[in-house]
A and B are shown apart, each in its own frame.
Chain A
Amino acid sequence: EDKVVQSPLSLVVHEGDTVTLNCSYEVTNFRSLLWYKQEKKAPTFLFMLTSSGIEKKSGRLSSILDKKELSSILNITATQTGDSAIYLCAVVERDDKIIFGKGTRLHILP
């Protein structure tokens, strides 16, 4: 069965720390991997990754895909309390299916 697994499921760090969130997948026909930030309820788009080894950056956030290892990481440097959220990873398959992981709940302590 196709699946997306995120780790850790929850993480508590202090403001200013750097965090690395993991997403691994087992799917039949990979097309793209998506990262979202979910505060309250609406997930907001962070990154789309399709090619291995190419880092995407947006401010303090960055992400990279490793197709050989079937995984992706999301890095957040110099964390702020506003980074507290659930971070969702989703994989889109070529047969037009999307599978989400359970998310990593990140809490930043001031």
Chain B
Amino acid sequence: GAGVSQSPRYKVAKRGQDVALRCDPISGHVSLFWYQQALGQGPEFLTYFQNEAQLDKSGLPSDRFFAERPEGSVSTLKIQRTQQEDSAVYLCASSNLSGTSGGAFETQYFGPGTRLLVL
């Protein structure tokens, strides 16, 4: 079946522009995660949704980062007034288990990511 998909795959933005990154999770998956992976680093947790509820946004690096999942399926990560340090691959993952304490981290499937370059 279809896996997690993300779009666009590549995005070049000028510093100060706003960007929106889309994630389509596996159909029926209740949990959705966003990660930021800088060059040469491992993924860093940004935020977690259970259905449409954003239950953890502790990893968002600043108030320029905003994520939503209004209907409990597709999610959008928005970055306002992009800075060069925002350049990274943004990974989305989904799980059919609900709750980070219920094993959702351990059963997540990752998408191919969006590579964002801010000039």
Contact B42 A48, beta carbon cutoff 8 Å: no
Interface residues of B, count at CB 8 A? 22
| In the complex, chain A residues whose CB is within 8 Å of the CB of B22 | none
Q: Which one of B66-74, B75-83, B106-114 is at the A interface?
A: B106-114
- A12 in the interface (beta carbon within 8 A): no
Say yes or no: B56 contacts A96, CB within 8 Å: yes
The distance in angstroms between the C-alpha atoms of A80 and B45, with both chains bound, is 31
User: What size tier do the contact residues of chain A reach?
Assistant: 20 to 34
* Interface residues of A, dominant DSSP: strand
Q: How many A-B residue pairs have CB under 8 A?
A: 49
Q: Which chain A residue lies CB-closest to B104?
A: A96
Interface flags, A75-110, vs B, CB<8A=1, else 0: 000000000000010101010111011110000000
CB of A88, distance to nearest CB on chain B (Å): 6
Residue numbers in A under 8 Å from B44 (CB-CB)? 100
Q: Does A41 lie within 8 Å of B40, measured CB to CB?
A: no
